[in-house]
């Protein structure tokens, strides 16, 4: 509303300024030739000065004087058209007044409504950063500012890397992973994160770089399902069907039978067992929160961490309201609340999630398993159908499904 008042005010000022000369009693017009005459008179004076200073010869001065004199005469002899009579022109002036009154508001308003965004307030970055709410990108920006000044803060890079990955900023993700590995040393999560970034950036091909990252990750933590899975994919893409099959079978052996990634593992076993066709190897990714982020957040200062986690969790929760069918999202939300120590919200989220999915379906089973894992009381059906869900709690942290199930 204030905006409109100010715009109206601005329009009024402009219209008033433009109307002023039309309402004012018209100044008498100087004769047409007054300006010219003045210029030529000055030329005469200049001539005198030049002559007095000896800059030109007497003869030259005489010629010039004669010439300027002719110009002066011609200018003075010009007929002056008299200024229009104020009364005669009143019709025209009324029209001019009409135009000047109507045009600014009419044209201004029409064009502005067509082009402008009156509803949008100013959004200076400092103000937004001071109060980021649950805007994930602002939190990331905050972290980036911190890193720009402290590029050797490895844990900072470590936090940002998976977030970049999920928001499809692959180049940034790769750099962040590499920086984190360089500064705080390799870990299975970082290495397989880097590997996955490289795979996605290369349209699903497990490159040499990526493969060595995964292999190193497996060396560091043999239980890292994600890394092992990609090692298998690499073997598959290299045409080593037997090795790939063995790798996938090992994963299957080590995983609980109802682990969410089992479907995919079985698919790959079948592929390599039957015929060794090249895998599509697609590795899409989830734009949401994972335990990786949570773990990484530990490296931050207490305030930053709380803020960041809350921001991310809130944004996830609000997104899930809009798209409640996202099972991965629900799983993460519940886990996140548990990390934050907010059992009640975790319970509420779990209950809501269970309301959306049938207990018999794959999603229902996953939720039941989660309930066991987190120790939340599972209300309603489903608990009985997940008797051996308990081991899932000890399942490797590198949650393969995020790269695999979708």
Partner 1 sequence: MIVEIGHFALVLSLATAIIVSVLPVVGAYRRDASMMAVGTTGSLVMFGLVMLSFASLTWAYVVSDFSVKNVWENSHSLMPLIYKYSGVWGNHEGSMMLWLLILVFFSALVAVFGRNIPDTLKANVLAVQAWISLAFLLFILLTSNPFTRLDPAPAEGQDLNPILQDFGLAIHPPLLYLGYVGFSVCFSFAVAALMEGRIDAAWARWVRPWTLAAWTFLTAGIAMGSYWAYYELGWGGWWFWDPVENASFMPWLAGTALLHSALVMEKREALKIWTVLLAIMTFSLSLLGTFLVRSGVLTSVHAFATDPSRGIFILCILAIFIGGAFMLFAWRAPTLKAGGLFAPISREGSLVLNNLILTVSTATVLTGTLYPLVLETLTGEKISVGAPFFNMTFGLLMLPLLIAVPLGPMLAWKRADLLGAFQRLWVFAGLALLAGLVLWYMQNGGPILVIFGLALGCWGMLGAVADLWYRGNFGKLPVMTSLRRLKGLPRSAWGTALAHFGLGVTVIGIVAASAFSTEHVVEMKQGQTAQSGGYSLTFDGFREAVGPNFTEERGHFTVSTGGVVVADVWSSKRMYTARRMPTTEAGILTFGLSQLYVSLGDPMDGGGIVVRIWWKPLILCIWGGCLIMMIGGFVSLSDRRLRVGAPRRKAKAVKAVMEPAE
Q: Give, as ranges, the residues between 170 and 199 that touch partner 1 (CB under 8 A).
A: 171
Q: Which residues contact 337 (CB under 8 A, 6 or more apart)?
A: 313, 343, 345, 346, 349
Q: Which stretch binds partner 1 (CB under 8 A): 58-66, 299-307, 327-335, 357-365?
A: 58-66
Whole-number minimum distance, CB 185 to partner 1, in Å?
21
Alpha-carbon distance of 34 to 52, in angstroms, equals: 27
Handedness of CA 113, 114, 119, 120 (dihedral sign): negative
Alpha-carbon distance of 256 to 371, in angstroms, equals: 16
Decide whether 176 or 376 has the Cβ nearer to partner 1: 176
Within 13 A of 326's CA, how many CA atoms are on the CB side? 21
Alpha-carbon distance of 148 to 139, in angstroms, equals: 14
Report the residue from 2, 58, 87, 322 that binds partner 1 according to the rule CB under 8 A.
2
Q: Which residues contact 364 (CB under 8 A, 6 or more apart)?
A: 354, 357, 358, 382, 385
Distance of CA 191 to the CA centre of its chain: 26
32 binds partner 1 (CB under 8 A): yes
3-state secondary structure 100-155: HHHHHHHHHHHHHHHHCCCCCCCCCHHHHHHCCCCCHHHHHHHHHHHHHHCCCCHH
12 binds partner 1 (CB under 8 A): no
Distance of CA 207 to the CA centre of its chain: 29
Decide whether 60 or 242 has the Cβ nearer to partner 1: 60
325 binds partner 1 (CB under 8 A): no
Decide whether 36 or 249 has the Cβ nearer to partner 1: 36
Report the residue from 51, 65, 71, 310 that binds partner 1 according to the rule CB under 8 A.
71
Report the residue from 51, 93, 345, 356 that binds partner 1 according to the rule CB under 8 A.
93
Q: Which stretch binds partner 1 (CB under 8 A): 24-32, 193-201, 211-219, 279-287?
A: 24-32
18 binds partner 1 (CB under 8 A): yes
What's the full length of the chain, in residues?
Answer: 406
53 binds partner 1 (CB under 8 A): yes
Q: Which residues of 314-343 are buried (b: 16+ CB within 10 A; e: fewer)?
A: ebbbebbeeeeebbbbbbbbbbbbbbeeee
Report the residue from 51, 134, 135, 252 that binds partner 1 according to the rule CB under 8 A.
135
Report the residue from 62, 112, 325, 343 that binds partner 1 according to the rule CB under 8 A.
112
By CB under 8 A, what part of segment 235-264 binds partner 1? none
Identify the residue whose tokens are 């040499």.
Answer: 208
By CB under 8 A, what part of segment 149-168 binds partner 1? 149, 151
Decide whether 181 or 259 has the Cβ nearer to partner 1: 181
Report the residue from 58, 87, 120, 322 that binds partner 1 according to the rule CB under 8 A.
120
24 binds partner 1 (CB under 8 A): yes
Residues in contact with partner 1, counted by CB under 8 A, come to a total of 85
> Helices 2-23 and 90-115, interaxial angle, to 10°?
160
89 binds partner 1 (CB under 8 A): yes
Whole-number minimum distance, CB 6 to partner 1, in Å?
6
Report the residue from 58, 77, 126, 275 that binds partner 1 according to the rule CB under 8 A.
126
67 binds partner 1 (CB under 8 A): yes
Decide whether 33 or 351 has the Cβ nearer to partner 1: 33
């Amino acid at each position: 509303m204030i905006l409109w008042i100010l715009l109206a005010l601005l329009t009024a000022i402009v219209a008033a300024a433009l109307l002023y000369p039309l309402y004012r009693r018209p100044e008498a017009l100087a004769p047409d030739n007054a300006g010219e005459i003045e210029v030529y008179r000055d030329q005469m004076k200049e001539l005198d000065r030049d002559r007095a200073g000896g800059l030109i010869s007497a003869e030259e001065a005489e010629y010039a004087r004669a010439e300027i004199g002719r110009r002066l005469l011609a200018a003075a002899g010009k007929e002056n058209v008299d200024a229009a009579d104020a009364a005669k022109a009143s019709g025209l002036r009324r029209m001019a007044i009409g135009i000047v009154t109507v045009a600014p508001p009419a044209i201004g308003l029409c064009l502005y409504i067509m082009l402008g965004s009156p509803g949008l307030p100013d959004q200076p970055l400092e103000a937004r950063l001071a109060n980021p709410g649950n805007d994930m990108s602002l939190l990331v920006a905050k972290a980036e500012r911190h890193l720009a000044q402290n590029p050797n803060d490895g844990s900072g890079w470590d936090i940002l890397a998976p977030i970049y990955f999920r928001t499809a900023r692959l180049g940034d993700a790769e750099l962040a992973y590499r920086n984190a590995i360089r500064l705080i040393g390799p870990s299975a999560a970082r290495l397989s994160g880097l590997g996955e970034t490289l795979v996605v950036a290369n349209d699903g091909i497990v490159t040499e770089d990526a493969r060595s990252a995964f292999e190193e990750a497996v060396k560091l933590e043999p239980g890292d399902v994600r890394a092992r899975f990609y090692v298998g994919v690499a073997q598959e893409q290299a045409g080593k069907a037997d090795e790939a099959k063995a790798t996938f079978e090992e994963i299957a052996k080590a995983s609980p039978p109802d682990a969410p990634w089992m479907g995919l593992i079985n698919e790959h076993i079948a592929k390599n067992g039957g015929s060794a066709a090249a895998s599509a190897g697609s590795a899409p990714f989830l734009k949401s929160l994972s335990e990786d982020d949570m773990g990484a957040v530990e490296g931050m200062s207490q305030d930053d961490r709380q803020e960041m986690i809350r921001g991310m969790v809130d944004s996830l929760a609000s997104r899930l309201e809009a798209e409640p069918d996202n099972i991965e999202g629900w799983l993460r939300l519940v886990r996140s609340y548990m990390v934050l120590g907010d059992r009640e919200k975790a319970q509420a989220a779990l209950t809501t999630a269970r309301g959306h999915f049938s207990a018999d379906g794959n999603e229902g089973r996953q939720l039941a398993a989660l309930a066991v894992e987190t120790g939340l009381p599972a209300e309603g059906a489903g608990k009985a159908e997940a008797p051996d869900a308990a081991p899932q709690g000890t399942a490797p942290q590198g949650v393969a499904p995020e790269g695999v199930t979708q």
